[in-house]
Amino acid sequence: MKLDLTQFDALTFDVYGTLIDWEPTIISMFHSTAEQYGVTLSDEQLLMEFDKARAALQKQRPALLYPDVLRAAYGQFCRNYGIPENAQEREVYANSVMLWPSFADTRAAMAHLQQHFKIGLLSNIDNTSIQFSERKLGIKADVVVTAENVKAYKPDHAHFHAAFESFAALGIPKERILHVGQSLRADVIPANQLGLSSVWIKRPGRSLGSRPEDAVGAKPDLSFDTMQELALYHQAHLALA
């Protein structure tokens, strides 16, 4: 039986990759640095350079703030390819979150969903950076959990437990929460482990967190390519209710 969205009172979302389209800007920044020094790499190679650095940095405890992750990823890339680091360029990387756009379908989908659900944002970002993105989404979330709040990065369960506590204070138990994310590794798998219903937003053409090696054991309850499809699915259930 397909999941009935009307059985939920709250939706929690991964932000970057699901609602905010971060990969093209990251690739563009690394291309800009590489091009200056004659380093020729494909988009996928550049993205993997970032992802390898990110993965290593996010294992550090206490957790780095995301601007520091971006600074360090830039530095690691420069060292890997013999590129001299530039302090001004490094700060462009650190503050790039404000440049990351929302996906074209996100704002309208979120406008619909917020009329029917409490909204939570669960992100590996910092508190300052997520404010830029929240404005781009056109929403004011009911619950926001960041890596800065919980001192950890998803797929660690700390984000989810913090969200459970916040929604419980609003009278919403875990069983009435549906988690939505693009990353199988960071969102769907921990949702599975915690007994939380989940939706995978595939975002064709985007790969971080959902490559085959990230997907082992991931079992979303529903899958859609876009947020628009999720909103339409909910509208169809409302019509039947």
Active site residues: 14
Residues recorded for the chain: 241
Residue 7 contacts residue 176 (beta carbons within 8 Å):
yes
Residue 98 contacts residue 20 (beta carbons within 8 Å):
no
Give the Å distances, CA to CA, from 190 to 34, 150, 157, 179, 184.
Answer: 35, 16, 7, 10, 9
Tokens of 49: 């350079």
Give one DSSP letter per residue of 148-159, joined into a string: HHHTS-TTSTHH
Q: Which of 215, 216, 199, 225 is nearest to 14 (CA)?
A: 199
Residue with tokens 């009935």: 4
Tokens of 169: 């204070």
Tokens of 187: 């969102």
